[in-house]
């Protein structure tokens, strides 16, 4: 068995093509473009690279974007004040506001993220947006979780009644993805069970003993912990869909949390790193930014 590769770049391209028309319509109606403002703290190379990719995607779609660089010595109070000034449109109109993570250790990350107004929280991290998601009426879904769900839907991988095992319990991926995949089907959900919902979900983490015992039971296995090669072939059920969210740099190469070569010989589907979930995360951020602009101007 050789896994079918889930091409995140190609799917993200199709999503961007669809969004581009919606952005043009928005700009024609309101005489301005949706605009994303990103706060970049410090000079972490990976963070700068991620921000660059987001700005490039915005440009491709005809959106405006701005990056506000901040010294790594900035305090929590400094960043909260900056986010407040962005929210007051003191740096140009800001439909979507994103604080690039991670923040320096001395900064209270929760306080800074909570300062982003929930109606412009395009990362979906504000507690109000997390609460809406938990109730099955999401506004902004965390972008990586939304991207994983979209990949499963696009590949027609059944989720209804299937067992999903998510390795990782972060507020960014693990928890919101569990809520998404376990939710009741929204109107129009495909009858074939491939609608990205109605799954039975298990979340594993650092205190889960004998990880392989759980992962081998998964119809869909999601690895999202940031540990290269954590998921090996003996841990994968034959024919399972394996979604690799991990992004790690090893010997100058980007690799995921999955030992991709051997796992590809066991799994039915596999998302590669790079080129899998990463492009989808950016595409869903663009979708959230457009939605934020529409909500601000009464179209959402």
The per-residue pLDDT string of the chain (300 residues; one tens digit each, 9 = 90 and over) reads: 699 999 999 999 999 999 999 999 999 999 999 999 999 999 998 899 999 999 999 999 999 999 999 999 999 999 999 999 999 999 999 999 999 999 999 999 999 999 999 999 999 999 999 999 999 999 999 999 999 999 999 999 999 999 999 999 999 999 999 999 999 987 666 666 778 999 999 999 989 989 999 999 999 999 999 999 999 999 999 999 999 999 999 988 999 999 999 999 999 999 999 999 999 999 999 999 999 999 998 765
Active site residue 54: yes
Cα–Cα nearest to 8, from 244, 230, 291, 264: 244
Q: Which numeric CATH code is attached to 31-118?
A: 3.40.50.10860
The verdict on whether 4 is a catalytic residue reads no
Extents of the domains making up the chain: 31-118, 141-277
Is residue 100 flagged as an active site residue? yes
What pLDDT sits at residue 195?
85
Q: What are phi and psi of 222, to 5 degrees?
A: -115, 125
User: Which residue out of 33, 54, 219, 257 is catalytically annotated?
Assistant: 54
Q: Which residue has the tokens 């990719």?
A: 53
Beta bridge partners of 231: 258
Q: State the catalytic residue, choosing from 33, 64, 95, 100.
A: 100
Note whether 31-118 and 141-277 share their fold.
Answer: yes
In this prediction, residue 189 carries a pLDDT of: 66
Identified catalytic residue from 95, 119, 123, 219: 123
- DSSP string of 69-111, one letter each residue: EE-TT--HHHHHHHHHHHHTTBTB--SEEEEPSPPPTTS-HHH
Q: Which CATH superfamily is domain 141-277 in?
A: NAD(P)-binding Rossmann-like Domain (3.40.50.720)
pLDDT of residue 1: 65
Taking only the tens place, the pLDDT of each residue in 124-164 is 999 999 999 999 999 999 999 999 999 999 999 999 999 99
């Amino acid at each position: 068995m050789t896994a079918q590769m889930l091409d995140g770049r190609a799917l993200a391209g199709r999503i961007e093509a669809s969004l581009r028309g919606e952005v043009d319509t928005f700009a024609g109606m309101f005489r301005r473009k949706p605009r994303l403002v990103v706060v970049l703290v410090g000079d972490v190379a990976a963070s700068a690279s991620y921000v660059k990719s987001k700005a490039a995607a915005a440009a491709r779609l005809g959106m405006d974007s701005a990056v506000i660089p901040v010294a790594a010595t900035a305090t929590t109070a400094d960043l909260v004040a900056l986010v407040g000034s962005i929210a007051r449109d003191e740096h140009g109109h800001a439909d979507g506001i994103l604080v690039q993570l991670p923040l320096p250790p001395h900064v209270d990350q929760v306080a800074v993220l909570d300062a982003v107004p929930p109606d412009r929280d395009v990362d979906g991290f504000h507690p109000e947006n997390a609460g809406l998601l938990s109730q099955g009426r999401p506004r902004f879904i965390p972008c990586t979780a939304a991207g994983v769900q979209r990949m499963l839907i696009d590949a027609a991988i059944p989720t209804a009644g299937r067992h999903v095992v998510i390795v990782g319990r972060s507020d960014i991926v693990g928890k919101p993805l569990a809520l998404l995949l376990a939710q009741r089907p929204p109107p129009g959900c495909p009858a074939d069970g491939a609608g990205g919902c109605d799954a039975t979900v298990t979340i594993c983490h650092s205190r889960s003993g004998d990880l392989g015992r759980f992962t081998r039971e998964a119809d869909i296995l999601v690895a999202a912990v940031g540990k290269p090669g954590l998921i090996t072939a003996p841990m994968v059920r034959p024919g399972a869909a394996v979604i690799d969210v991990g992004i790690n740099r090893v010997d100058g190469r980007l690799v995921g949390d999955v030992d991709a070569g051997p796992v590809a010989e066991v799994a039915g589907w596999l998302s590669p790193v790079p080129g899998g979930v990463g492009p989808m995360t950016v595409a869903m951020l663009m979708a959230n930014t457009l939605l934020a602009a529409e909500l601000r101007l009464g179209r959402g």
